Every structure is written in C-alpha cells, then in structure tokens.
C-alpha cells in the first residue's frame, strides 16, 4: 500500500467507491425524511439534523480522502471497505431516532465499526509506506482515540450539545495535525469528482423526498394546479442547482492550490447539508401545496437551504477558481432576494420564484464562464 501519484492520468472513482457511496443513500434518506417530518409539525429540528448530517458527512469524508491516496483495490482493502459499509448501515439505522428524538444510542456504534475499518487501513498504510509512516500512524491513533471519546460522550452525557461541538472541532483538527510530518497524496481531479458524485447523491435524495410529498398528496386525492406547479418548479430548482454546481470545475484549481483544500473540503459540509435540507423543504412544500398553505415556515424551509447553498458554493470555489465565474454582487444579491421571498409570497410562489432565481444565476454564470474561457487561454470552459 504505497501512495498513488497525485498526477496519475485518467484517475476516476472506482466501482468500489461507487458501491460505498450507496450505503450513504440510506443514511441521508433517513435523515431527510425525519427532518421533513419535524418541519411539517412546525418545529424544524435544525440542530439535530445538522448533528446527524455531520456524522454522515464526516464518515464519507474520511474514507474518500484516504481512498484518493491509498486505493490499492486488493482483497484486504475491499474487505475493510465492506466493514466500513456495515458501519454506515448501522449508523443509518440510528438516524431516525437521532433526528426526531435526539436519541444517539445507535449512531456512535455504527461510527465505531466504520472507524475500526478505517484505522486498520491507516495502520496498513503506515506499515507499507515508510515515507508517510508518521502521518498514517497519527491518523490511526487519532481516529481510535476520538472514537473512544464519542462512546464516552454518549455513555456519560447522552451526547450533550457542547461536548458534541468539542468533538467535532477535534475531528476537524485531526487531518491538520496528522499531515504535518508529510501530506498524503490525494488526487485533485479524483477528489473533485468524488465531491461531485456526492452532490448527485444528495440531489437524488431531494428528488426522493419531493416524490414522498407527491405520493402523500396523491393518496389523499389532493391534486390541484398549485400542487402541479410546485412539483414542476421543484424539479426545475433541483436541476438548476445541479447545473450551477458543475459550472464550477474544481479539479484544476485544487491541483494548483492544494493548500486551499481544507477550506474547500470542509466548506462543502454546509453545501451538502443545504442540498439535503432542500429535499426536506420540497417534500413539505409539495405536500402542503394541495392545502393552499400560507405558512412562512414552509417557504423558508426551501428558501434558507437554497440561500446557504448559493453562498457556500461561491465561498468554497472563490479561492481555487481564478478568475472566479461567480461575482460577489450576483451571489449576495440573489441570497438577499431568496430570503425575502417567503415574507411576501405563499409557499407555492416561493418555490417557483426561487427556482427562477437559481435558473437565472446558472444562466449568467454559464455566460460569464464561456466569456472568460474565450478571452483567457488558461481558463477552462465548464463544458470542456
């Protein structure tokens, strides 16, 4: 298990990585469904949703960055990956209780299974890659230590919020500390592709969440013009969010500015969480459309995640894409407009208007990106 080269040509996600991602479909779907229920009940469990989503996202992150450096795809690697997949499924089983009832009894044990498999991979990397032995052993030791802390936090405090925040800070600091002796050989284009694939997974979950709202409306016989309008606008919104993300190709920027990878990678937490929350908001909006709801809460359940997505998309890509394809004025103005819409429009109109705003942004960004590609030989067109 030696480090793969950072400039390996034609590096793409492996079939094993794609299979690994499928286990997170279950976890994200469970979290989104429970979050939608809390929104519909009038008490959106935002904190609980973000806590659960961090556990899902960080588990995915840990394996993704390791695999970018040390994917040997041999028998032992595959078996230890399967062990991590089992941990994800245990974690997913505990997501509904964690989101709806703040019951975290199952989530840390799923985490424990995952982290044992990941720590074993780091120990193997340390043994077989002498150049990065200290880095690998730091990762392995840090992962096992922090996992013990998660279990203790559950047993002693039933996962108090302040202790959760402390452990999150330590988790985020671990890669910064572990990579001081020598950085791992993650592949920039591979990482960019992996993040893009997770975006597609989250958008798929949003489609699933919206379809649940459609199913409930159909079962109740509540079919109306408002229902059809919000369902169609929701699909347009998701398609525009997808389009906008892939107008920001990150592989080249990460290759040129590897030091910015922490801000880019960590910042995606808010982008990913926002996409998952959009799905929950659309589920409630579709379901409530048949009742001609005027709830501001339902409107903001869609508007706030979209605003966070737009702002985060700009913030994470600004340091690595030069010249930027998105301007601060465009994003900040759009975010302000999206957040004002629920104050003056009913939920159905909010979904339609937000979809229109995102479509307009995508069109303007695409025009700007093509202009930059035409005027600057070093700039890559989003379609190349």
pLDDT tens-digit readout, 92-118: 888 888 776 777 777 888 888 999 999
Residue length, the chain? 384
pLDDT digits (tens, 9 = 90+) for 114-168: 999 999 999 999 999 999 999 999 999 999 999 999 988 888 888 888 999 999 9
- Per the structure, how many domains does the chain have? 2
My answer on whether 193 and 266 are in the same domain is yes
DSSP state at residue 380: P
Q: How is residue 17 written in tokens?
A: 């990585």
My answer on whether 83 and 206 are in the same domain is no
Give the separation between CA 34 and CA 93, rounded to whole angstroms: 12
Q: Is residue 5 part of a domain?
A: no
My answer on whether 209 and 139 are in the same domain is no
Q: Is residue 32 part of a domain?
A: yes
Domain end among 178, 198, 228: 178
Q: Is residue 171 part of a domain?
A: yes
Q: How confident is the model at residue 268 (pLDDT cuts 50, 70, 90)?
A: very high
User: Could you list the residue range(s) of the whole structural domain that residue 57 is in?
Assistant: 15-178
Domain end among 143, 178, 213: 178
Q: What pTM value is reported for the model?
A: 0.91
Q: Return the SS3 of 17.
A: helix
Q: How is residue 107 written in tokens?
A: 């989530």
Helix axes 188-220, 225-245, angle to 10 degrees: 180
Contact 61, 261 (CB under 8 A): no
Q: What is the DSSP string of 104-139?
A: -SSHHHHHHHHHHHHHHHHHHHHHH-GGGHHHHHHH
Statement: residue 186 has pLDDT above 80: yes
My answer on whether 38 and 152 are in the same domain is yes
Residue 333 CA: distances (Å) to CA of 105, 181, 206, 307: 43, 43, 25, 10
Statement: residue 244 has pLDDT above 90: yes
DSSP state at residue 258: G
Give the separation between CA 282 and CA 9, rounded to whole angstroms: 40
Domain end among 159, 178, 197: 178
My answer on whether 154 and 199 are in the same domain is no
Q: Return the SS3 of 192.
A: helix
Q: Is residue 4 part of a domain?
A: no
């Amino acid at each position: 298990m030696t480090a793969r080269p950072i400039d390996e040509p034609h590096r793409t996600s492996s079939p094993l990585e794609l299979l690994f991602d499928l286990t997170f479909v279950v976890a994200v779907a469970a979290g989104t469904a429970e979050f939608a229920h809390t929104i519909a009940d009038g008490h959106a469990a935002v904190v609980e949703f973000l806590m659960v989503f961090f556990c899902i996202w960080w588990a995915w992150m840990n394996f993704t960055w390791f695999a970018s450096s040390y994917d040997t795809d041999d028998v032992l690697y595959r078996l230890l990956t399967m062990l991590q997949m089992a941990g994800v499924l245990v974690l997913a089983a505990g997501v509904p209780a964690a989101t709806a009832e703040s019951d975290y009894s199952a989530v840390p044990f799923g985490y424990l299974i995952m982290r044992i498999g990941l720590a074993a991979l780091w120990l193997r990397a340390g043994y077989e890659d002498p150049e990065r032995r200290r880095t690998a052993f730091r990762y392995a030791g840090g992962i096992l230590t922090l996992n013990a802390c998660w279990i203790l936090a559950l047993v002693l405090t039933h996962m108090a919020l302040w202790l959760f925040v402390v452990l999150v800070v330590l988790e985020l600091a671990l890669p910064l500390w572990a990579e001081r002796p020598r950085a791992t050989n993650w592949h920039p284009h591979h990482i960019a592709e992996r993040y893009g694939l997770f975006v597609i997974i989250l958008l798929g979950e949003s489609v699933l969440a919206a379809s649940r709202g459609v199913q409930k409306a159909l079962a109740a016989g509540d079919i109306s013009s408002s229902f059809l309008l919000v369902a169609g606008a929701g699909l347009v919104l998701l398609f525009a969010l997808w389009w906008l993300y892939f107008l920001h190709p990150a592989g080249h920027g990460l290759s040129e500015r590897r030091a910015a990878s922490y801000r880019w990678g960590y910042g995606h937490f808010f982008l990913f969480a926002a996409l998952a929350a959009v799905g929950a908001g659309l589920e409630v909006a579709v379901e409530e459309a048949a009742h001609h709801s005027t709830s501001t809460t339902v409107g903001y359940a869609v508007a706030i995640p979209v605003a966070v997505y737009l702002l985060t998309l700009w913030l994470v890509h600004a340091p690595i894409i030069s010249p930027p394809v998105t301007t601060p004025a465009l994003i900040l103005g759009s975010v302000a407009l999206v957040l004002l819409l629920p104050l003056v429009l009913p939920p159905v109109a909010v979904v339609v208007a937000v979809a229109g705003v995102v479509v307009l942004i995508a069109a303007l960004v695409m025009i700007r990106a093509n202009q930059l590609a035409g005027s600057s030989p070093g700039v890559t067109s989003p379609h190349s």
